[in-house]
């Protein structure tokens, strides 16, 4: 089975998979392989996707690789009916210069072959298709210039690259935008959001942009689209002492929390008490693991809040995000 993750986080993923009996046999930039097991785990943090039953296909040239991938696809699709769009994905390991261009060239050559041999199926291919959960299609990952790992199935854990907004005050904005896809909901007009550790205001701006009312708690200044925003109230207070019922007379619809603080402290003294006191309906909380053991933190977070979905987002760095 092939797992994809953010390049540089393969060993974090390896430590997450090991207790599940999945032992790494090979890895590279942004990918990790295990001998095939019964199925891909339904919930993982560091994996962005899993390709079960992936096969290795090699070819010296672009055309040779494309031809062998086409043979594999046509053989496996022989008795399959294609009624609508199906996902087609070609990508590559993240550590070799020029491999992305190679993957594009192999995809182009593959699509030409497919058009010649199965024109209707080729027309239904949807290269950008990406939804959480299991999909059937064709998924190709070039691990070097002559080698691809190829599967007909993909389990996606929900991470995806988001588009920036010129008014967003920080790159952090992209994390909360991505987290909405994991939770399956976004703040809505009339809802209230408490944003702890809000400055310079990327998360607050994202919620205000959707018409929600935001209380942004941080000693630092708000900037760009969050500054003087009529839907955002800025309070220069300590996040650990903030009580939404005392401040606004009622619990919040959303808790956002992106504090640069010890993650155990955030878990123990913000998220858990907020959930116990029912101070929020939904939450998006980012825990920074730069100075702690990420595997131990993940285990603790899962044990303390079993219902949380925890993901190392596409836009996360030394941190992961809990939503629920």
Question: Which positions are annotated as active-site residues?
Answer: 288
> Alpha helices, DSSP H only, in 40-172?
62-76, 99-117, 119-123
Q: Is 233 in the site for ligand SAM (CB under 6 A)?
A: no
* Per-residue interface string for the shown chain with ligand SAM, residues 178-197, x marking contact by CB under 6 A: -------------------x
The one among 27, 54, 143, 172 contacting ligand SAM by CB under 6 A: 172
The answer to whether the CB of 162 falls within 8 A of the CB of 315 is yes
The one among 52, 87, 181, 202 contacting ligand SAM by CB under 6 A: 202
Residues 254-283 that bind ligand SAM (CB under 6 A): 258-261
The one among 185, 219, 273, 290 contacting ligand SAM by CB under 6 A: 219
Rounded to whole angstroms, how far apart are CA atoms 174 and 270? 23
Rounded to whole angstroms, how far apart are CA atoms 45 and 314? 11
The one among 200, 263, 294, 324 contacting ligand SAM by CB under 6 A: 200
The answer to whether the CB of 148 falls within 8 A of the CB of 33 is no
Residue 227 C-beta: closest distance to ligand SAM, Å: 12
Q: Is 173 in the site for ligand SAM (CB under 6 A)?
A: yes
3-state secondary structure of 320: strand
Residues 90-149 that bind ligand SAM (CB under 6 A): none
Q: Is 216 in the site for ligand SAM (CB under 6 A)?
A: no
Cβ-proximal residue to ligand SAM, closest one: 202
Q: Is 320 in the site for ligand SAM (CB under 6 A)?
A: no
Q: Pick the closest to residue 167 from 155, 182, 177 (CA basis).
A: 177
Contact residues for 159 (Cβ-Cβ < 8 A; gap 6+): 48, 178, 182, 311, 312, 313, 314
Closer CB to ligand SAM, 65 or 217, in the complex: 217
Closer CB to ligand SAM, 109 or 259, in the complex: 259
Rounded to whole angstroms, how far apart are CA atoms 253 and 18? 37
Rounded to whole angstroms, how far apart are CA atoms 267 and 276? 12
* Residues engaged in binding ligand SAM (CB under 6 A): 169-170, 172-173, 197-203, 217-220, 238-240, 258-261
């Amino acid at each position: 089975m092939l797992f994809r993750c953010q390049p540089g986080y393969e060993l974090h993923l390896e430590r997450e998979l090991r207790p599940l009996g999945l032992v790494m046999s090979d890895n590279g930039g942004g990918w990790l392989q295990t001998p095939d097991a019964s199925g891909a785990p339904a919930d993982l943090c560091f994996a962005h996707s899993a390709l079960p039953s992936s096969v290795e296909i090699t070819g010296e040239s672009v055309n040779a690789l494309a031809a062998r991938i086409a043979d594999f696809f046509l053989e496996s699709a022989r008795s399959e009916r294609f009624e609508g769009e199906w996902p087609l994905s070609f990508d590559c390991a993240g550590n070799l210069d020029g491999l992305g261009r190679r993957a594009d060239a192999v995809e182009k050559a593959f699509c030409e072959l497919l058009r010649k041999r199965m024109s209707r199926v080729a027309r239904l291919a949807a290269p950008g298709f990406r939804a959480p959960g299991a999909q059937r299609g064709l998924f190709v990952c070039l691990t070097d210039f002559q080698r691809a790992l190829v599967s007909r199935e993909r389990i996606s854990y929900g991470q995806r690259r988001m588009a920036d907004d010129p008014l967003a005050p920080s790159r952090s904005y992209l994390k909360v935008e991505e987290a909405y896809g994991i939770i399956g909901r976004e703040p809505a007009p009339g809802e209230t959001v408490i944003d702890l550790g809000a400055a310079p205001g990327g998360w607050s701006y994202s919620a205000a942009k959707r018409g929600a009312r935001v209380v942004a708690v941080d000693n630092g200044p708000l900037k760009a689209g969050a500054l003087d925003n009529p839907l955002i109230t800025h309070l220069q207070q300590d996040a650990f002492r903030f009580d939404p019922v005392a401040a606004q007379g009622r619990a919040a619809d959303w808790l956002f929390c992106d504090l640069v603080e010890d993650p155990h402290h955030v878990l123990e003294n913000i998220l858990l008490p907020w959930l116990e006191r029912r101070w929020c309906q939904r939450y998006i909380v980012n825990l920074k693991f730069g100075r702690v053991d990420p595997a131990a933190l993940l285990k603790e977070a899962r044990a303390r809040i079993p219902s949380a979905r925890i993901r190392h987002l596409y836009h996360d760095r030394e941190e992961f995000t809990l939503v629920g």
